[in-house]
Amino acid sequence: MAPRNPQRNPSRGQDNREESDVIEKLVAINRVAKVVKGGRRFGFAALVVVGDGKGHVGYGHGKAREVPEAIRKATEQAKGQLIRVPLREGRTLHHDINGHFGAGRVTLRSAPAGTGIIAGGPMRAIFESLGVQDVVAKSVGTSNPYNMIKATFDALRRVDSPRQVAARRGKRVGDIVGRREYSSDKE
């Protein structure tokens, strides 16, 4: 039997090559029960983080009757919600930043080379997918993985590179970076 619409996705081969370098991390699976007339119906909710290891990361949430289907739905949603995060030297954040969502509060700090990823649970999955190698992160408040991920993404959306700051302020990149190095020498 021939496919219904063979021209539906003409670049299918190219998409598969792009998706091969995507890092997928399963953060949480939750089993939920719905009580019906004959007993309980079980379903599953999956929380997934995806990234390319080069500064793009996203998260997704999927629900289904079977675990693999829930993971697939969450992964598709995450790939459609990728955000770009500027990284310093491709290994850490440009500056310290705070983020929050609901009762979840996170603090993300840039770190010198060799520090590694000092973060727990859901935040570790985000940094591994993002391609960050050195970062120190602290979560205060709720330990709910959904709120921790949303708080972390809130912080990551506000990370600015020196180039972005310089453009916004009408300065040169050297002026911005020079001041950052000067203030760290002074302390």
CA 128 to chain centre: 9
| Last residue within a domain, chosen from 66, 83, 100 | 83
Give the up-direction half-sphere exposure of residue 71: CA atoms within 13 A in the CB hemisphere: 9
Higher pLDDT, 16 or 175: 175
Q: Which residue has the higher pLDDT, 15 or 89?
A: 89
Average pLDDT on 142-148 reads 92
Residue 42 lies in a domain: yes
Grade residue 12 by pLDDT with cuts at 50, 70 and 90.
Answer: very low
Looking at residue 28, which CATH number applies to its domain?
A: 3.30.160.20
Q: Indicate whether 180 and 104 sit together in one domain.
A: yes
**Would you say residue 9 lies in a domain?**
no
7 located within any domain = no
Q: Are 124 and 117 in contact (CB under 8 A)?
A: yes
| pLDDT above 80 (res 58) | yes
CA dist 85 and 161 (Å) reads: 9
The mean per-residue pLDDT over the stretch 23-46 comes to: 93
Identify the domain boundary among 31, 49, 83: 83
Domain range for residue 138? 86-186
Both 113 and 135 in one domain: the answer is yes
- Same domain assignment for residues 167 and 95: yes
Mean pLDDT of all residues in 133-153: 93
User: CATH number, domain at 129?
Assistant: 3.30.230.10
Residue range 72-90, pLDDT digits in tens:
999 999 999 999 998 888 8
Q: Which of 44, 59, 83 is the last residue of a domain?
A: 83
Residue 19 has a pLDDT of: 54
Residues 129 and 179 occupy one common structural domain: yes
Segment 42-53, tens digit of pLDDT: 999 999 999 998
Report how many domains make up the chain. Answer: 2
For residue 20, pLDDT beyond 90: no
